[in-house]
Structure 1
Amino acid sequence: MMKFIFFLLFPTMALAQDKGVVLDAATGNAVAYVNIASSLSEKAVSTDENGNFFINFDPNDMLTFSAIGYQTANIKASQADIVHLTAVIYPLDGVTVSQPKRTVEATIAGYDRSDIDMFYGTNGYAYVYARRFAPQSQFQATPYLKKLTIMTRSEVKNAKFNVHFYESNPDGTPGAEMGTANIIGIAKKGSRDTAIDLSPFNLRIPEYGFFVGLETLIIPENKYLEYAYTDKNKVYHESFFYAPTFGTTRTETNTSWGFGKKHEWGEFQKVSPEKILQYYADFNKATGKMAPPFDDRHVEFAMKLTITD
């Protein structure tokens, strides 16, 4: 089956590039994989494993720095050469701390690779793709998350991405982060089942269910040339994107959410056949390939979870 890749695109601007670093305010250590989002556009960058980042934002842009385990900070781009983030203090009063036994396992969700017809990615757009898992009876006996498996496609070797887990609010909307540290996945080149070991994080399933979020890191080692062409005026164009992309299947009910655009959560809406086919035609106008059959059901991110007691 022909696979279709759907990218969230934003217009590019030629701005002066600058670099900076994000540090822990208390320890002075580098903070890796911080999301740095623009308030004037929908683009973003991420810090690398050493806390470094490169930006080409408007100097007057107010940047939002967010990272798991740290308080969010809003800082003007012209003042963002050295950024200090304050760690979140998690109160333990009245909290019962337990450890998983790992004597019993169960599997929830799953996917067939042949059913995956679309991959979602970005060319620099600040976005987290998420799937909701509603409460299930088996969560009582096996309430800990042990392993996540997803379908990824990457054009580079060992593309890095961030995995988020969020509590579900009683109304089914995404709530607070469940973890206190980055969970970094590694997607090998090509289309693959990518597994992430969750055992070190002792993530317990909340009462109202949870969301699994996937965030492509906007770092240089994830960047690749998606396509290049010369227009009718003989002007050469290049378009760069970031690996990996995340595979989806189809479902009758919506489970997909996204965090981006206005820096808030929103449910996925059905994509019209006209939009998909037009995008496909524009993107592949020089290939002569036929557009794939369109499925008007909801998009669902392909995931399989192993849970334990």
Structure 2
Amino acid sequence: MKKLLAIIFLLISNFGFSQIKAVIFDKETKEKISYVNIWIENENIGTTSNENGEFVIDSSKGEILILSSLGYETMKINLKKIPSKIFLLPKSYELDEVIVSTKKENKEKVIGAFKDSEIGFFYATEKNPEIKARLFDFDSTYLETPFLKSIKLRIYSDVKNSKFNIRFYSVGENGQPDKPIYEKNIIGISKKGTKNLEIDLSDLNISFPSDGLFVSYEWLILEENEFKVSFLIKDSKKRIEKTLYEPKVGLLPTTQNTNSWLYKNGKWEKSERFKGNSPKPYLDNYEILAIELKLTN
């Protein structure tokens, strides 16, 4: 009996030691940083810091912890040397010349318009922070309405008040998302159910770049976003249980991938074709985020 208790205690102790707990701060202001992307390099393990900058992550696998957040330098730390307090350095970007003009807001233009009936698939991440990005090419007609007024997405959530983040990026030399256009998180909150969610951007004064704009949707690995679901294995009575991180976002099918990218495990890559049990017309095709942008002058 004593040996059994000793073994149980040892297992519990090892489990405790494999968990890293830390708080993330701004190195200059010493303020806590919310919603930082955190994952272990080359492993399918990741999380997100909560509103108080706190996070817990399994450190039983891998060697390097990577931390990434808008407005800060990406940091890599040896898993064996993780301090209880982590300080991220604010990042400086060389910005192009900015022409300041007054918004009149008497003209509007909608791009990326979609119908609810066109969306037959909603996507949520499982274990790691992920970002899906959609490229909107520049058109000279946007010069008449150069400012982003709002963004509309088709959202489906199984939990109340699930949170996600919106990011905007410039276009890199290889066509991938590059530099952040807006340096702060734009947190969206979704109620339970399926709905079109519109986020007001009019106070941010974001203008449409002349080389195109990436609009991205970031999942946050937070406890309040968790939803457990089970799937029946095909041709079997067994079920697979999974933990999804809400909210799910609507995707539109497309035959070619010219403007859809995925950020996972610290790098951008083009989205792959749908395989397996994907519904038609997604099977063997690609997808793009169902995003509608409203522009104004």
Indicate the TM-score class for this superposition, using the shorter chain for normalisation.
Answer: 0.7 to 0.9
Aligned residues of 2:39 and 2:129 also touching (Cα < 8 A) = yes
Deviation at 1:156, TM superposition (A): 0.8
Q: Within 2, Cα distance between the matches of 1:128 and 1:93?
A: 25
Task: Report what 2:286 is aligned to.
Answer: 298
User: Matched residue of 1:184: which SS?
Assistant: strand
Q: Percent of pairs identical after alignment?
A: 33
Deviation at 1:17, TM superposition (A): 2.2
Q: Please, which runs of 5 or more residues in structure 2 have no aligned partner?
A: 1-14, 233-237
Aligned residues: 277
Task: Report what 2:3 is aligned to.
Answer: none
1:164 matched to 2:205? The reply is no
Q: Superposed, which structure 2 residues align to 1:239-258 within 5 Å?
A: 239-254=242-257, 255-258=259-262
1:226 matched to 2:214? The reply is no
Deviation at 1:175, TM superposition (A): 1.6
Task: Report what 1:217 is aligned to.
Answer: 220
Task: Report what 1:175 is aligned to.
Answer: 178
Task: Report what 1:18 is aligned to.
Answer: 20
Aligned residues of 1:58 and 1:77 also touching (Cα < 8 A) = no
Task: Name the CA shift for 1:80/1:112 in 2 (closer, same or farther; >3 Å).
Answer: farther
Task: Report what 2:88 is aligned to.
Answer: 85
User: Matched residue of 1:125: which SS?
Assistant: coil
User: Matched residue of 1:214: which SS?
Assistant: strand
Counterpart among 22, 27, 52 of residue 29 in structure 2: 27
Deviation at 1:237, TM superposition (A): 7.0
Task: Report what 1:196 is aligned to.
Answer: 199
Q: Please, which runs of 5 or more residues in structure 1 have no aligned partner?
A: 1-13, 230-234, 281-290
Instruction: Supply the AA of the counterpart residue of 1:304.
Output: E
Q: Which runs of 4+ in 1 moved over 6 A?
A: none
After superposition, give the CA deviation of every residue in 1:155-214 in whole Å (9 maximum; x if it has no partner).
Answer: 111111111111113553222111111111112111111111112322111111011111
Task: Name the CA shift for 1:72/1:293 in 2 (closer, same or farther; >3 Å).
Answer: closer
User: Matched residue of 1:241: which SS?
Assistant: strand
Deviation at 1:119, TM superposition (A): 1.5
After superposition, give the CA deviation of every residue in 1:123-176 in whole Å (9 maximum; x if it has no partner).
Answer: 112321111101112221111111110111111111111111111135532221
User: Matched residue of 1:276: which SS?
Assistant: coil
Task: Report what 1:73 is aligned to.
Answer: 75
Task: Name the CA shift for 1:268/1:40 in 2 (closer, same or farther; >3 Å).
Answer: closer
Task: Name the CA shift for 1:139/1:82 in 2 (closer, same or farther; >3 Å).
Answer: same
After superposition, give the CA deviation of every residue in 1:111-131 in whole Å (9 maximum; x if it has no partner).
Answer: 111111111211112321111
Aligned residues of 2:43 and 2:61 also touching (Cα < 8 A) = no
Aligned residues of 1:225 and 1:239 also touching (Cα < 8 A) = yes
TM-score when normalising by structure 2: 0.84
User: Matched residue of 1:140: which SS?
Assistant: helix
Task: Report what 1:8 is aligned to.
Answer: none
Deviation at 1:71, TM superposition (A): 1.2
Task: Name the CA shift for 1:149/1:293 in 2 (closer, same or farther; >3 Å).
Answer: closer
Q: Within 2, Cα distance between the matches of 1:302 and 1:93?
A: 29
Over alpha carbons, which structure has the higher Rg? 2
